[in-house]
Amino acid sequence: MHSLNVLVLAALAAAVPFPSNHQHAHLHHRRIHDMAKRAAIPPLARSISTDGSCGSWSGSTCAPGYCCSSLGWCGNSAEACGAGCQSGFGQCGSGNNAPESSAAASSSNAAVSPAEVAPTAYSHPAYNPPAESNTWAPVQSETERSTSAPAPATTATTSTLSTSFSTSVQPTTTDVAPTTSTYVAPTTSSYAAPSTTAAAPQPAQSYSGSDSSSSGGKGNTYNMYSGDGSVSSGWPGQGDWVDFESMWSANLEALISKSCSQFGVDENSDEENADIKSSINSVASSAGVDPRFILAIVVQESKGCVRVPTTSWSVSNPGLMQSHSGTGTCNSGSPVSPCPSSEIQQMINDGSDGTSSGDGLKQLLAQCSEQDAQKYYKAARMYNSGSVDPSGDLGAGIATHCYSSDIANRLTGWTDATSSCTLD
């Protein structure tokens, strides 16, 4: 009976995901990990989306008849079913085969969890998946994986999106205005966070403030990486990363400038975008974290929308980086416009330098013994799920399996080309 109760709790904990294409409604997966680790149960298989989020970032598949858009939301519009549609998580096509419905997919790069009560001042576009099922398929256990899993694979496939404006025009988002729907969260059960007995972290790595060794990156392409994040297993070294200015300009044009429409709130103003950039550089200097790494996490978690909704599960995840119970936010239930520069600075500080309740990128990097790019990929996985799988494989374990691969690609120039990651 006890083992049955544990499995039911774990199913509920892992059932609802949040962007990147694997973002993150994003629940901070490190809480799921804590529960799974405490209960000593295996991770659970992917489920049909119940909140509109989909794609490899959330691990959820759209209901039959819906497409999973390039931004990770279920829908049946031409935009959702057209360019960038994620075929592994719903049907794709021009939208002709989709049911005649005005439903628009909704979610955020900040995952909504089963126990979240949606803010009263925020409404999602309608999405009507089939009734939830309590039938879950357990995947291979940790013991089985450690004794039978093959060595992690290296780079798999590559997809490329032309950067020529004369031949490739990105579709603009013209989603139907969302209709108000009511979400009633299931009753939460009490949860006591397990005590940590980890060894004292190593001193934080300092950032020199220079990215002059950058090679120019790999462009707006996606290469799937698997394994432990090391250069020897095919992951990009820091010399393959783009410089910060190029990375900022590319993401501003492709994602950040149009990141808020998915939440039904005002798009960022030019001033707000400038505040994001200056805050990243400021916090990078004070926290000793590479600004490119901070920007990659910002885009992964919220696409850079300053009014991204605060999501909650066992703790709240507010702001641009969906931090661990941070204080910086411009949408804790009602979007604030304009978003003050002080709040934007606090959002970046919460996710990078940590909060009184949880680690930020600085603390996670300090826990990694590696001295090269591998530590960033490991820290990214820890930011997403709480820890790295015992096998060392950054694509194994719980939460968003493509998360570290996404971050590696963002650091080498990927913005909105179709993801080829098949881990979720």
Mean pLDDT (whole number) for 67-81: 82
pLDDT of the residue at 19:
41
pLDDT in tens, 227-245: 999 999 999 999 999 999 9
Query: Where residue 199 falls among pLDDT bands split at 50, 70, 90?
Result: very low
Tell whether the model's pLDDT for residue 207 goes beyond 50. Answer: yes
Residue 348, H or E segment = helix 341-353
Domains and CATH numbers, the chain: 158-171+199-411 (1.10.530)
Report yes or no: 49 and 65 within 8 Å, Cβ to Cβ. no
pLDDT in tens, 277-313: 999 999 999 999 999 999 999 999 999 999 999 988 7
Q: Please tell me whether the peptide bond between 125 and the residue prior to it is cis, using omega within 30 degrees of 0.
A: no
pLDDT in tens, 6-42: 444 444 444 434 444 444 434 444 444 444 443 343 4
pLDDT of the residue at 169:
37
Compute the distance between CA of residue 345 and CA of residue 302 in angstroms, rounded to an integer. Answer: 15
Residue 165 CB neighbours (<10 A)? 8
Instruction: Report the SS3 class of residue 35.
Output: helix
pLDDT of the residue at 420:
96
Tell whether the model's pLDDT for residue 188 goes beyond 60. Answer: no
pLDDT of the residue at 208:
55
Query: Where residue 254 falls among pLDDT bands split at 50, 70, 90?
Result: very high
Which of 25-29, 101-105, 189-193 has the highest mean predicted lDDT (pLDDT)? Answer: 25-29
Query: Where residue 143 falls among pLDDT bands split at 50, 70, 90?
Result: very low
Mean pLDDT (whole number) for 190-202: 39
Name the DSSP letter for residue 121: T
Compute the distance between CA of residue 196 and CA of residue 173 in angstroms, rounded to an integer. Answer: 45
Tell whether the model's pLDDT for residue 246 goes beyond 50. Answer: yes
Question: Which of 287, 305, 278 is CA-nearest to residue 360?
Answer: 287
pLDDT of the residue at 101:
35
How deeply is 181 buried, as exposed, middle or buried, from its count of CB atoms within 10 A (0-12, 13-18, 19+)? middle
pLDDT of the residue at 129:
54
Mean pLDDT (whole number) for 78-101: 68
pLDDT of the residue at 306:
98
pLDDT of the residue at 313:
75
User: Among the listed ranges 54-58, 187-191, 285-289, 388-392, which one has the minimum average pLDDT value?
Assistant: 187-191
Tell whether the model's pLDDT for residue 71 goes beyond 70. Answer: yes
0.75 exceeded by pTM: no
Q: Which residue has the higher pLDDT, 110 or 337?
A: 337
26 φ, ψ to 5°? -85, 115
pLDDT in tens, 147-172: 334 444 333 333 433 333 333 334 44
